[in-house]
Amino acid sequence: MTSIACAPGARPRARGLEEAVGVDGEVLVAAAGEVHVLTPTAALLWECCDGEATVAELSAEVAEVFDQEQEQVLSEVVVLVGELEQRGLVVLEGSGQGPREPALLAPSASCASCGEGPGFEATVHVELGSVVASIGADATTARAIERAFGGRVVERAEATGPPLYGIVLPEARSGARSTPLARLHRGEEVLCTSRDPGRIVRALAAQLAIHALPARAVRLDSLVVGRAGRAVLVPVPPRRSAFLRRLAAVGCCAADVPSACVDPAPSAYALVGAAQLALDLTSLLEVAAARRLLDGEPPALPWGNYEIVAVATSGDPSPASVLAELVPLRHGAGDSEAAAAVPVLLELLDAVPILTAHDLDGIAGILT
């Protein structure tokens, strides 16, 4: 069989995991009328094909585990995944040429991109300070959003374009082997996914709370990892679900959304959640509970204010590396937002140590 390399942006999903049998260090699996023998390395990669991570993201994890250059590993992984796909052991759920779903939303009012989203039967407009944030959802979820935000919900009769955010809470499928993940969208980006729709509900509230932050607060492209009132700002990992499980193993957890809201005065604190909005999420969480998919995900960091005691980087532990990773230049952020973040981050780096993002034991230690 001639191997064909797959696209680095493809998202492979493994098939036949339940039928796999380990024999003498190798894995045997039946598919398409044949029995396939996988080496331990091929089997490990195959088991990691969860339909969420791209081939490029998988290669980054493999490179980290085996301490190799990602470019070299990527060239091998694209061929191996292509071979697994030819054998019928994985299904490629995206070509990597664009988002997995059509462009759903406009990241900002000035962005010309737009598109339709799945199940966006209704749009709810929520007033948050000087911003009116629009949220697309199915009809049932939209009604629960209206109850949650109460007097903040406003009418927008005029055409306003696609919603700023979108929340997708799929119905649980009885007896199904797989169910679509619950998702929170912003622009063409999927902010977070989860098998627990309740996590997505809390992530929506936390994301909207960013629009109601104190004027002095800034946003960083960072995940807040914490415990016991202390936090470390960590670059957003390529495979968030795997990172959360590794965090739980060292007794830590992370915020629902991959954005760190930092209040620099009088000392730097990460503002986690939407406590300042005084929301009643009861109805939304009831909708989420009715559509619960799979349990077992690590808990999210509880809402509150966390003292920032360190900053982490996936590169060299230097201020330049931190600035390159955490200053919000992506996700539709404007130059003014990035300019406001730089001095806050530099002042923070003068006060706290820089850690290595892969050293979770070190992160857990400084949070103790």
The pLDDT profile of the chain, 368 residues, written as one tens digit per residue, is 444 667 778 888 887 665 566 555 567 766 655 667 777 778 778 878 888 888 888 888 777 777 787 777 887 888 888 888 887 888 887 644 333 332 333 333 333 232 334 457 888 999 887 788 889 998 899 999 999 998 899 887 565 677 888 998 887 665 544 456 788 888 667 777 777 888 889 989 988 888 887 778 888 888 999 999 999 999 988 777 778 888 989 999 999 888 888 998 778 999 998 888 888 889 998 888 888 765 556 888 999 999 999 999 988 888 888 888 888 654 444 456 777 788 888 889 889 999 998 899 999 999 98
Q: Are residues 246 and 354 in the same domain?
A: yes
Radius of gyration of the chain (CA): 21
CA dist., res. 172 & res. 290, Å (int): 8
Number of separate domains in the chain: 2
Half-sphere exposure of 255 (CA within 13 A, CB side): 33
Q: Are residues 358 and 269 in the same domain?
A: yes
Q: Are residues 68 and 134 in the same domain?
A: no
Q: Are residues 129 and 255 in the same domain?
A: yes
The CB density around residue 251, as the number of other CB atoms within 10 Å, is: 12
Nearest to 196 by CA among 251, 149, 142, 256: 256
Domain boundary among 92, 111, 138: 92
Q: Is residue 116 part of a domain?
A: no
Backbone angles phi, psi at 38, to 5 degrees: -110, 135
CA dist., res. 168 & res. 182, Å (int): 6
The enclosing H or E element of 345 equals helix 335-351
**Integer CA distances (angstroms), 206 to 29, 148, 266, 317, in order:** 43, 13, 23, 29
CA dist., res. 42 & res. 245, Å (int): 22
Q: Are residues 87 and 132 in the same domain?
A: no
Residue 16's domain comprises 12-92
Q: Are residues 193 and 282 in the same domain?
A: yes
Burial of 307 (0-12, 13-18, 19+ CB in 10 A): middle
Question: CB neighbours of 282 closer than 8 A, spacing ≥ 6?
Answer: 148
Query: 51: phi > 0 → left, psi -120 to 50 → alpha, else beta; which?
Result: left
Question: CB neighbours of 215 closer than 8 A, spacing ≥ 6?
Answer: none
3-class DSSP string for 220-262: ECCEEEEECCEEEEECCCCCHHHHHHHHHHCCCEECCCCCEEE
Q: Read off the amino acid at residue 50.
A: D
Q: Are residues 309 and 222 in the same domain?
A: yes
Q: Is residue 220 part of a domain?
A: yes
pLDDT score recorded for residue 114: 29
Q: Are residues 23 and 147 in the same domain?
A: no
Q: Is residue 173 part of a domain?
A: yes
Angle, alpha carbons 327-332-335 (nearest 5°):
55
Q: Is residue 109 part of a domain?
A: no
Q: Is residue 331 part of a domain?
A: yes
Q: Are residues 165 and 251 in the same domain?
A: yes
Q: Is residue 4 part of a domain?
A: no
Q: Is residue 1 part of a domain?
A: no
Q: Are residues 81 and 143 in the same domain?
A: no
Report yes or no: 31 and 15 within 8 Å, Cβ to Cβ: yes
Q: Is residue 187 part of a domain?
A: yes
Output the domain CATH number for residue 75.
1.10.10.1150
Domain boundary among 92, 110, 141: 92
- Reading across the β-sheet that carries 165-168, which strands appear in turn? 153-154, 122-128, 131-137, 165-168, 182-186, 189-194
CA dist., res. 324 & res. 341, Å (int): 12
Nearest to 357 by CA among 322, 331, 333, 323: 322
